[in-house]
Amino acid sequence: DQQVKQNSPSLSVQEGRISILNCDYTNSMFDYFLWYKKYPAEGPTFLISISSIKDKNEDGRFTVFLNKSAKHLSLHIVPSQPGDSAVYFCAASGNAGNMLTFGGGTRLMVKP
C-alpha cells in the first residue's frame, strides 16, 4: 500500500499561469515533506521542503502548502515557465534516519 500518492500522472499548464501539483499521504508519523524535480537522464533535484510545524513554505516562484488534517500537500509554481517542465516527486520522512518515501511522480508540461 503506497503511503505517499500523487494521483495525477501528468499536468499541462500554459506558460505564465499557476501550476498546482498535489500529494496525499497516509502515515501520520510523517513530519517532514519534500518536493523534488527530475529531468530526463538526471537525478532528482531537491526543490523545497516543509516541516509539519508549518503550513506554508515559500522559495521564489515555489510554494509548498501542508494540510495535516487532510494529510495533503501541494506545490504551487507561479508563474510557470517552460523550463519547469519535468517530473515532480513528493516525498515524506518520519524518522531520524532521514529515510524518504516517495510518491509516483507527476509529469508537468509547461507550454509556451
Partner 1 sequence: DAGITQSPRHKVTETGTPVTLRCHQTENHRYMYWYRQDPGHGLRLIHYSYGVKDTDKGEVSDGYSVSRSKTEDFLLTLESATSSQTSVYFCAISGRQVNQPQHFGDGTRLSIL
Pairing of strands 19-25, 32-38: unpaired
Q: Of 13, 30, 44, 84, which one interacts with partner 1 (CB under 8 A)?
A: 44
Q: Of 45, 56, 67, 111, which one interacts with partner 1 (CB under 8 A)?
A: 45
Segment contacting partner 1 (CB under 8 A): 12-20, 37-45, 67-75, 78-86?
37-45
Residue 111 C-beta: closest distance to partner 1, Å: 23
51 binds partner 1 (CB under 8 A): yes
| DSSP per residue, 39-104 | -TTS--EEEEEEETT-SEEEETTEEEEEETTTTEEEEEESS--GGG-EEEEEEEE-STT---EE--
Q: Tally Cβ neighbours within 10 Å of residue 50.
A: 21
46 binds partner 1 (CB under 8 A): yes
> What does the alpha-carbon distance between residue 34 and residue 78 come to, in Å, rounded to a whole number?
18
Q: Please work out the total of residues on this chain that contact partner 1, with binding judged by CB under 8 A.
A: 28
Site for partner 1 in 93-112 (CB under 8 A): 93, 96-105
Site for partner 1, rule CB under 8 A: 4, 6, 9, 31-32, 34, 36, 41-46, 49, 51, 89, 91, 93, 96-105
